[in-house]
Structure 1
Amino acid sequence: MAGADTLPEPDDNSEERKSSSATSAATVEPQPQPTELPTPNRVVLVLEDDLVQLRLLQQHLESLGLTLLTARSIAEAQQHLSENRPQLAIFDVNLPDGSGLELCEQLDSDPRHCTMPIIVLSSMTGNDMIRKTRASGGCYFVGKPYDPNVLLILIERALGESLQ
């Protein structure tokens, strides 16, 4: 039991260890606590002429913390694009004043918007719609009716971040 109350014999390095740990402890300054940085404003342009579809998209995307610019015609979308730089666009194909795919082509050749990812969301689900979407400059095609979870995954990929 004698060994239980005795301290270990100091070795040659024990003073050195005490000295270095005292120095370390003395020079350690409290680190600032990480603060939550504000999420950058993620603006999405939604071009959809069907008011019901537009409202559903709006509710879903705003619940994810996205800021929406909504347009029901190509002319409205072009107005938004002249005034803003959205990070993402979601376009319908058949619109009252033209085709969402034609707007994709225009944006693909516009230096201001050519890097903006575009998701085409349409009830036109023929076999060649994916090819047409890609040829016009769109990143993804989603057929209507669509699974909101699939759309969320594509939006996250397009924005390069998780929204949930």
Structure 2
Amino acid sequence: MKTVLLVEDSLTETQVITGYLIQAGISVISVSSGEEAKIKLQSQTPDLVILDVILPGQSGFEICRELKTNAITKKIPVVICSTKGTEADKLWGSMLGADAYLPKPVDQQELVKIIQNLT
């Protein structure tokens, strides 16, 4: 079973995305901040990370850059999932190493397709 680390500070978004992933047969580890994500990544290696952009502390963009420049985590696919869906945001995410960019509200089929393509 594939495992996704979901970094999302909105409880509602966490519940919606988790529900979509579980329906697709994907295991979910959810945290609400970059700090929590770093702690989880020390003990577990997910198949993919989904990052919100606007998080307490570090932004999803900053976390993505850290994951992609760290030798241990750089091969883990990262999907940025945000209400900030402009072309500039998508380009910035790509420049920082994100493997995909998914605008909110999340489309269940698109989310599952992206995860299947990246894992």
**TM-score with structure 1 length normalisation?**
0.70
The number of aligned residues is: 119
Structure 1 position 127, deviation (Å):
2.0
Which residue of the other structure, out of 72, 83, 86, is the alignment partner of 1:112?
72
SS at match of 1:95: coil
Task: Give the structure 1 partner of residue 14 of structure 2.
Answer: 54
Q: After TM superposition, where is structure 1 displaced by more than 4 Å over at least 4 residues in a row?
A: none
Equivalent position of 2:107 in the other structure: 147
Give the RMSD, CA atoms, in angstroms: 0.9
Unpaired runs of 5+ residues, structure 1, are 1-40, 160-164
**Higher RCO structure, 1 or 2 (CA under 8 Å, sep 6+):** 2
1:1-164 to 2 correspondence within 5 Å? Answer: 41-159=1-119
Identity among equivalent pairs (%): 26
Letter aligned with residue 68 of structure 1: V
TM-score (norm. length: structure 2) = 0.95
Distance in 2 between the 1:147 and 1:57 partners? 9
| Structure 2, gaps ≥5 residues long | none
Counterpart CA distance in 2 for 1:74 and 1:149 is 26
